[in-house]
Structure 1
């Protein structure tokens, strides 16, 4: 906490001295008696100055980990921990720079008795990223308003609009490097897989000595091996529609889901790439430390959003320079030389886009399709990818609104598409009032039932 005091001149004492001296010099009793008014005011100033505030400030958020577009309620509580009444307390909260106040005010004024507290609240609109609050400014004045104490209080609070996502269950398609996907092969691992006949090359630590003690036969214990997966996050960028005005649209929710899943999968040593439906933009899978940064910049480029670096800061520069040599970025946009974009055939009907994507996918790759499923083309694309032999999981944010007849009808159609897909691929129906992590956890329980 930093503090600064500011006092005003002793106006009452100055008036008393001037009028008293004038009364004595002129022999005017009325002027001399008038000096008592200044003395009374000076005594009042002395009795009411220096509130010497001892305050504590608390800030709470609800919800603590919002989704993009959610309203976050901020409650600030100020408590007088000192031994004197504070007649004039004014508070200005440090709203994060990139967030907008949509309800209430971050400014507040009150009086505080000893051990008394007062609270005020306001709401901000959440955006993707981490948004730390600034210092809270507290100004205390005495009853006469002649003395002011100003303090800056730091309350460590951050709105984290990027909640962690639980691990997404993946199919048993694996790579050679170690990861978290359980394979159907025995070897080094943690969980028990089986027992086989001993071979001379087996390490001593894998011998089942209990079995040897019973039967005098050597056998080897095998554990279930785990391997890394290769995942391509397919983002449906065709429907920038929102359930309500000022809410994030479907493309933003799909992009958000892809980024959160990529962060989780990369942390578990999986190879992650990205693609967009249906303009054939593609970022090949990788697992190096810069892949998350490349993926976020790729999604920002193809969806028309802001470039975002790994530390959450905006990068409004040329997108191409965010990609190190060797990264594959094929977006449906003109090249610097004016040549045609790198595409494989027409994609106007969505059919060739699926074939093109299937040709680009590595043989061992799995597809996580982030789509609102607002039309049959998205559902057909998921079915076709599954028919081509790809392991497909659909994460579908529900951006339909039930307040209108059209929104209700769109919701019915979407439910029918989900029901039709569930016999072929795994579908996580994301109700936007729930965190993405909760949706995936609920879907995982259903898939494993």
Structure 2
């Protein structure tokens, strides 16, 4: 810990001596008494000295692995481990550069008795990536403010906001190109699939030599083929509602899920596109390196559009109140808003834009029957559909309870037609996907 002595102490002592001398010479008792008090104070400070502070700093973040956009509470606790009182302690926490403080302040001042602790709490908004906090800057001054001890204390804390998806459950609807999606077809691959009668065109490496040795019959081993797939991530942008004030909205969660799923599928050599329900905007599937950047930009526009819509009207669902307040748009209103023909049929319009061989990953909170019906109709059009549904009904209000019952009924109905991933945003999306794959297996 570095020490900096502030020169005002010497100046003050000199001034007190001059004032005391002036009081004696002039015979003015008032001046003399003021000077005497200052000298006694300076003598006391010199006698007790300025012991070097001994401090312990702890930093706690909650949650430690948040989703992007989630509010993270940071608590910094300072403990005086020394025997002396610290009259003036000033602290500045080392907030990561890319994290914005949205509530409170990482800077605070306090007074610490021996063995006492004090803390400060502030809130940052999580962003994707790993964010390391820097050193905590501490400055301690003595009672007179003439000596300052300064120190940088390292408290290793990293906020991880990746929650990356490593595997995505897809059906066997694939392309002819090789990839990583397991199919129900035998051929070249790694996992055993079946044994069939040998044909003259079969390669020698596929002959079942063990069977030949036992039965003197030729047979061919087939492996489960893995192929590439075309996938369209469909985002339900109609419900910009949040479970509580300051939390990400349903549209943000849906866009996040679509981005995570899309990135994972691109890593697996699949063709990935995106679309919006029910504005019918689309990003055509592709598998090149630039597609992930195009996908991210497309989804950012979806979120920006939903924020602008929600701030300009009160048509969103209010799940954090004691009542269910909503304004349902009629098909005609939807058609007028987006210019959709076919009687305002967004599914039919999107089906014409999405490749016929494409699977659909529909990210929707399932807050109304239209979303559930859309998933069924995409399946009826020949698309393999997986619904990823963030649960926005976790509140305790009567309105949330009713919506939770309705949503559960929709999930149960959909499970008989399409694959469903019920995702509670408090847990990583990857965990919900893994749990769903285990259930389907």
Q: For the superposition of Structure 1 and Structure 2, which TM-score range results when normalised by the shorter chain? A: 0.7 to 0.9
How far apart are the structure 2 equivalents of 1:240 and 1:423? Answer: 28
2:77 aligned residue: 77
2:139 aligned residue: 139
- Structure 1 pair 178/150, CA: closer, same or farther in 2 (3 Å)? farther
- Structure 1 pair 164/23, CA: closer, same or farther in 2 (3 Å)? same
- Structure 1 pair 188/135, CA: closer, same or farther in 2 (3 Å)? same
- Structure 1 pair 22/175, CA: closer, same or farther in 2 (3 Å)? same
- Structure 1 pair 6/441, CA: closer, same or farther in 2 (3 Å)? farther
Q: 1:355 aligns with which of 345, 348, 371?
A: 348
1:111 aligned residue: 112
Q: By how many angstroms is 1:29 displaced?
A: 12
Which structure shows the bigger proportion of residues in helix conformation? Answer: 2
1:202 aligned residue: 203
2:386 aligned residue: 393
Q: By how many angstroms is 1:121 displaced?
A: 4.6
Question: 1:124 and 2:117 equivalent?
Answer: no
SS of corresponding position for 1:136: strand
Q: Given that residues 88 and 141 in structure 1 are in contact (C-alpha distance below 8 angstroms), is that contact kept between their aligned partners in structure 2?
A: yes
TM-score normalised by structure 2 residue count:
0.76
How far apart are the structure 1 equivalents of 2:201 and 2:18? Answer: 111
Q: By how many angstroms is 1:297 displaced?
A: 0.9
Q: By how many angstroms is 1:391 displaced?
A: 0.3
TM-score normalised by structure 1 residue count:
0.74
Q: By how many angstroms is 1:281 displaced?
A: 0.6
Q: By how many angstroms is 1:436 displaced?
A: 2.7
- Structure 1 pair 435/364, CA: closer, same or farther in 2 (3 Å)? same
1:180 aligned residue: 180
- Structure 1 pair 94/299, CA: closer, same or farther in 2 (3 Å)? same
Q: Given that residues 90 and 138 in structure 1 are in contact (C-alpha distance below 8 angstroms), is that contact kept between their aligned partners in structure 2?
A: yes
**Which region of structure 1 is more displaced relative to structure 2, 38-47 or 361-370?**
38-47
CA deviations over 1:169-190 (Å, ceiling 9, x no partner)? 1111233555432123344443
Q: By how many angstroms is 1:387 displaced?
A: 0.8
How far apart are the structure 2 equivalents of 1:413 and 1:190? Answer: 44
* RMSD of equivalent CA atoms: 4.0
SS of corresponding position for 1:362: coil
Question: 1:242 and 2:242 equivalent?
Answer: yes
How far apart are the structure 2 equivalents of 1:4 and 1:203? Answer: 81
How far apart are the structure 2 equivalents of 1:144 and 1:59? Answer: 30
Q: By how many angstroms is 1:154 displaced?
A: 5.3
2:264 aligned residue: 264
Alignment of 1:377-392 (within 5 A): 377-392=370-385
1:302 aligned residue: 302
SS of corresponding position for 1:295: helix
SS of corresponding position for 2:77: strand
CA deviations over 1:386-430 (Å, ceiling 9, x no partner)? 011110011122334765555444333333322222211112223
SS of corresponding position for 2:100: coil
Structure 2: gaps of 5 or more residues: 308-337
How far apart are the structure 2 equivalents of 1:384 and 1:29? Answer: 100
CA deviations over 1:212-247 (Å, ceiling 9, x no partner)? 665677765543332332211001112223344444
- Structure 1 pair 127/305, CA: closer, same or farther in 2 (3 Å)? farther
Q: By how many angstroms is 1:291 displaced?
A: 1.9
Alignment of 1:51-66 (within 5 A): 51-53=51-53, 55-66=55-66
